[in-house]
Structure 1
Amino acid sequence: MSKPVVIWDKYIRIYHWLIVIGFTLNYFVLEPGETIHQWVGYCVWILVFARIIWGFIGPKRARVIDFFPTPSRIAQHFRELKSREIPKESGHNAVGGMLILLFWFLFLAQGTTGFLLEETDAFFGSTLVENIHEYIAHSLFIGAIIHVAAVFLTGWWGRIELIKPMITGRRKS
């Protein structure tokens, strides 16, 4: 029997699921502009900011350098997909890394536009900032759909566990 490989540390797993919960609450459940919507948004903003820091000081799989998308890493990932052999010890791939960087940018922009709308007099009630805030939310939702689809498709095609490690932190080698 093979020994499980540690893929995701506890911070990454907790961060991931708190982001899922926070986004789901603010996108589907909570009323925009309400105090609880604002606080959930600020918490997500802080989580993303902390995750970026963790990307420089955390363990190997958490580090930005581990998944930073470069042309050679993207090509390598597509070669692995083509051969249907993704290394069992791998974390995020370079294509997923592009989505992670986009998510970070969008979540930080979302929190910033929300802050401008609610906490500053200059932008309070600004239709332009409201529209940007709304478009970013929809972009995050589309990104989440792409992410979930990619996890299922890559897991199936690449013959690799992707969901369980985000819960347990480990993958069968």
Structure 2
Amino acid sequence: MPTISEEKDKLDFPTLALHAGITIFGLVAWMTGDWAGDYKRLSHPGFSLHRGLGICLALFILARLLYGVLGPEQVRWGRLIPLDFRAWLASVVEDLQSLLKLELPDRPRFWGLKGAVQLFGLLVFSWLALTGSLLFTFLEPGRKAHGLLHVIKEMHEIGGTLIPIFLALHLTGVLLDAIWGRKKWRRAFFLEK
């Protein structure tokens, strides 16, 4: 897989804004997840707050999914989910082997280990957005969840346990990029063009 220069791999403003929205609403919704357990009571401010933040996250996820279809070529799903799965998987394995030598090759966005981490995060947040939207639609505050709705609630909570794993992987990658002199993290915080 060819490498790509940072100059050609710059993120456009909508991608950065979507990343910021998913980050902010995703983290705050995750942090308020434990408060949502008051949905069984007539007074449920924790659930209401978590629900509102979750719907904002779901809207950002939906926007990112649509942007992956309609946006510029460098952020389209064809680059995130390559048609040559074996080559993509080989790039992930190669990156894992490179890490043992304390190096990581520059790759096109969404390829290699970084692409696997991004895909994992997008799947986790999409899962939470989907199950959370179902809970938003069908869960009646003041009553316990039963049957299929209870299963969806449990599946939503499982998704929440995957967020720390994603954060650890993603932030480790950002830290390693910074240590190796790459400045992608600065662009994500609008500190650099």
TM-score by length of 2: 0.68
Q: Does 1:40 align with 2:53?
A: yes
Q: Report the counterpart of residue 78 of structure 2 in structure 1.
A: 65
Which of structures 1 and 2 has the larger relative contact order (alpha carbons within 8 angstroms, sep 6+)? 1
Residue 15 of structure 1: which of 15, 18, 22 is its match? 18
Equivalents in 2 of 1:145, 1:78: separation in Å?
A: 16
Q: Report the counterpart of residue 131 of structure 1 in structure 2.
A: 154
Residue 166 of structure 2: which of 143, 154, 157 is its match? 143
Deviation at 1:22, TM superposition (A): 0.5
Structure 1 unmatched ranges of 5 or more: none
Change (3 A) 1:63 1:79: farther
Identity %: 17
What amino acid maps onto 1:50 in structure 2? Answer: A
SS in 2 for 1:5: coil
The answer to whether the 8 Å contact 2:58/2:133 transfers is no
Q: State which structure, 1 or 2, has the greater radius of gyration over its C-alpha atoms.
A: 2
Equivalents in 2 of 1:169, 1:53: separation in Å?
A: 26
Q: Report the counterpart of residue 43 of structure 2 in structure 1.
A: none
Equivalents in 2 of 1:92, 1:169: separation in Å?
A: 22
- How many residues align structurally? 166
1:60-99 equivalence runs, <5 A:
60-68=73-81, 70-74=88-92, 77=95, 82=101, 84=103, 86-87=105-106, 90-99=108-117
Deviation at 1:163, TM superposition (A): 0.8
SS in 2 for 1:160: coil
Q: Report the counterpart of residue 183 of structure 2 in structure 1.
A: 161
The answer to whether the 8 Å contact 2:61/2:129 transfers is no
SS in 1 for 2:189: helix
Equivalents in 2 of 1:103, 1:85: separation in Å?
A: 20
Q: Report the counterpart of residue 152 of structure 1 in structure 2.
A: 175
Deviation at 1:168, TM superposition (A): 3.4
Equivalents in 2 of 1:144, 1:116: separation in Å?
A: 25
With 64-73 and 132-141 compared, the bigger mean Cα shift is at: 64-73
With 14-23 and 114-123 compared, the bigger mean Cα shift is at: 114-123
Residue 129 of structure 2: which of 83, 100, 111 is its match? 111
TM-score by length of 1: 0.75
The answer to whether the 8 Å contact 2:29/2:50 transfers is yes
Equivalents in 2 of 1:101, 1:166: separation in Å?
A: 17
Equivalents in 1 of 2:123, 2:80: separation in Å?
A: 16
The answer to whether the 8 Å contact 2:110/2:116 transfers is no
What amino acid maps onto 2:138 in structure 1? Answer: T
Runs of 4+ in 1 over 6 A off after TM superposition: none
Q: Does 1:24 align with 2:27?
A: yes
What amino acid maps onto 1:48 in structure 2? Answer: I
